[in-house]
Amino acid sequence: MNIIKPPFITKLISIFERLTSKPIIGGLALSDSMLQYVMLGGKPKAVSLKLPPGVMRGGRIIDSKQFAAVLKQFHGMIGLNDRGASIPVVVSLPPGSVYTQSFQVPNVGRQKLDESAMLNLQMISPISEEKAYMSYQIAEEMTEKYDLLGAVAERQVVDDIDIALQAANFSPVIFEFPGLALARTVSKAMGPGIEKESSMVFQISSDGLNFSIIRNGELYFDYFRSWISIQGEERQISRELFQTVITQEIQKVLNFSLSRFRETLTRVFLVAPGFEKDIQTFVEGKFGLTIIPFSIPSWSLTPHWYVVFGSALRGAMNRSRDVFLTLSRVSSRELFQEEQTIDFIVLWRNILAGILAVFLVLYGGVAYFLAKESASTKEQLAIFTTLGQQKDLKNLESKAAEFNSLVKTISRVRESTEPWSVFFSRIASLANEGRITIDRIETSSLNAGVTLSGRAPDNNTVVQFRSLLSSQLDFSDANLSISSIRTLEDGSTGFQISFKFKGGSEKK
């Protein structure tokens, strides 16, 4: 979802991002049998570790103590510079632990989209709202409707994994499901060409069968069938049963595509390490589809790594541009804002501490110099008895006066420096509190006056914002120009207000 921001706000965000550090976020994939980690930033890294049998089953943690021990061992295997440091990760939850559903809602505008989408998700969710994490992402935006992909995960399952990861010094940034990560890998590898037609992604893993539809480079449909659901009470899966299940599930995906998009899928990307040839021959003979065994030799990764690689791709993405679904307490955008705020505070704390240290050294040196000069002057005064010595004294007094004048000038210049950073912080905070969007700020000097042009939802909000400014000790002479109040094309109210900023005061 692209949000249009005024140029001034966009510039501030750009400066903000440059002044904050961006931690490297890797991908972490969980399954009943294995842990996998891939990091793309810095020195690329790929690490995996098998889980002992019975630690996880059906995407749930069964043996929490042993799972915690394996996670700590895995943290050490990743081997970052500081072994005790927290490792931020995008987590791909175990296959089958997430329920997905494609649905449509009317195009009621971006502002009401979230409410409409979440209401639909609650209706189609197999789990009650209080026991689930729900999220969605836009698959396609059309004039009259939105195509959305929704996902639901059991809250307790995600929370147990989250707690275990944090206890082992992992920092989960996002929770997603394997189909979404794999679709991202396929879209990245195939490039813009994949947007020209719809494609099916068919994956066979140690956990089961996964079927997805990618359309216009976005994931539209995802469905997982576990081996347990196929095997039932049998001790093993026969070849006939295996082929029957594949036939049934592929037919379901083809029927979905035909009913939703009015088109028949013709291309299938196959991710089935060790089974590519047999599956390709069977599916092509049964459905006449074009089967493409999916591999990316240039990435030096086998197909077993494609899911966690997709999560690592999301981790390398700029968090402010991450609009994909996430199954946790907060969205990836909110996590990004928290992360940026903390980094910003830490960075400027260090900068201010450095500046303070420089000034302390400078003032200490000046004090030492003045004390030394004072002692030297007293010694010289004690021996000045002749007229020539008096003349030297006057010369020294003249130099001392000149030096003191320079010191006072420096102090006046420093005191007259306008508090721009304080001003921007205060006006941005007040604008956010007053539900105001700032378009332009004009001033030659804060003491001389500031003119702010902005937008508000309605006239009352403009008047309330003027009252809010007047109530602040560090703002004065707030004057709202009545003639500047106007209704804009998008229905909001434009206005212009002038005021003075004294700086350094606290709110009432």
Tokens 């359309």, located at residue: 215
Displacement of CA 139 from its chain's centroid (Å): 19
Which CA distances in Å does 61 have to 8, 54, 72?
Answer: 48, 9, 15
Q: Are 126 and 64 in contact (CB under 8 A)?
A: no
DSSP single-letter state for residue 40: -
Kind of pairing, strands 87-92 and 26-30? parallel
Q: What is the pLDDT of residue 136?
A: 95
Q: What is the pLDDT of residues 50-102, one digit of tens each?
A: 999 999 998 999 999 999 999 999 999 997 656 568 899 999 999 989 999 99
Q: In this structure, which CATH number among 3.20.20.70, 3.40.109.10, 3.40.50.1000, 3.30.420.380 belongs to the domain 24-329?
A: 3.30.420.380
Q: From CA 133, how far away is CA 353, in angstroms rounded?
A: 42
Return the SS3 of 290: strand
Displacement of CA 419 from its chain's centroid (Å): 30
R_g of the chain computed on alpha carbons: 32
Q: What class, spelled out in words, does domain 420-501 have in CATH?
A: alpha beta
Dihedral pair phi/psi, residue 71, rounded to 5°: -65, -40
Q: What is the pLDDT of residue 396?
A: 79
DSSP single-letter state for residue 154: E
Q: From CA 258, how far away is CA 248, in angstroms rounded?
A: 15
Q: Are 177 and 98 in contact (CB under 8 A)?
A: yes
Q: From CA 373, how far away is CA 382, in angstroms rounded?
A: 14
Kind of pairing, strands 170-176 and 87-92? parallel
Q: How many CB atoms lie within 10 A of CB 188?
A: 15
Residue type, 463: V
Q: Are 446 and 499 in contact (CB under 8 A)?
A: no
| Residues of the chain where predicted confidence (pLDDT) is lower than 50 | 1-5, 505-508
Q: From CA 210, how far away is CA 200, in angstroms rounded?
A: 10
Which pair of tokens denotes residue 376? 């030297």
Q: From CA 347, how far away is CA 20, in angstroms rounded?
A: 7
Q: What is the pLDDT of residue 4?
A: 44
Displacement of CA 101 from its chain's centroid (Å): 24
